[in-house]
Amino acid sequence: MYRFKLLVALLKINVQQELAYRADTAINIVLSLMWLGWELLSLSIIFDNTATLGGWGPGELLVLLGVWRLVNTLMAAIIWPNTERFNTSIRDGSLDYTLLMPVNSLLLVSLTRIVIWRAWDTLLAAALIISGISLSGAVVSPLNLLSFLALALGGALVLYSLWIVLIACTFWFVKFDNNVTILQALMEAGRYPATVYPVWLRMLITFVVPVAVATTVPVQALRGELSGWQVLLFLGVALASLLVALAVWRAGIRRYSGASS
């Protein structure tokens, strides 16, 4: 119960912070619409020149773009701003205060800063997914839809776990403030189906920085390309990676000695 209250309090603080910069928020929304326009234009340029991309039609790429935007919004709204905060708190030692609080440290580290206006982006993403499905004209069975949702959530969990491990590395190597750059840089590769990439890049974004697991894989489930066992396997991997990440985080916290003391 207290966790719920804490979340509400955090949201409140972030809304207040956002309201202090209203003009900035308005500009950001315009910019996000502009990028959406660009993304749609780039898809239309691709499909002006071809009927399918690696076997995927325009509707399916629209769904993929929606899923990618969803993941990207999660990153931009929560993960990146909190990373910045976390890295500063390691450098100046203010992480001490976070650890002293009687709340799960990972919860505070992951959710203190939330960029509220990004909620708007999730609406856009949902609209993209729905219009993509209707454009592709495919009949989606309830089971496929369910595995799509489950795998999208599982993919987000995998990326979150990777993030925990990356920032926890800072406990061992203090001067490591571009700990998440590799994740940020490879996000870009999630916009297109992983099947178009050369093998080495596909391996990289599936096993090392699993952007594809959060973008291509759910859409494959929606298309009915994955068997029940594969879906379960991916969900198992998501759960396992979260457990590993939590263990790494705990080990890191034990190792942390504080910059100020």
Residues that bind another protein (CB under 8 A): 24, 27-28, 31, 34-35, 38, 41-42, 45-46, 48-50, 52-54, 178, 181-182, 184-186, 188-189, 191-192, 196-198, 200-201
Least distance (Å) between residue 35 CB and another protein:
7
**Which residue lies nearer to another protein by CB, 31 or 146?**
31
CB 192 → another protein: shortest distance, Å?
A: 5
- Write down the least CB distance from residue 173 to another protein, Å: 11
Instruction: Tell the smallest beta-carbon distance from residue 22 to another protein (Å).
Output: 13
CA distances to 17, 20, 170, 240, 242 from 236, rounded to whole Å, are 38, 43, 27, 6, 10
- Which residue matches tokens 């609406």? 123
Q: Output the smallest distance, CB 221 to another protein, in A.
A: 22
Q: Between residues 154 and 210, which has the closer beta carbon with respect to another protein? A: 210
What is the C-alpha R_g of the chain? 20
CB nearer to another protein: pick between 46 and 101: 46
In this complex, which beta carbon is closest to another protein, that of residue 45 or of residue 100?
45
What is the spatial distance between Cα 211 and Cα 235, in angstroms, rounded to a whole number?
A: 15
Choose between 51 and 100: whose C-beta lies nearer to another protein: 51
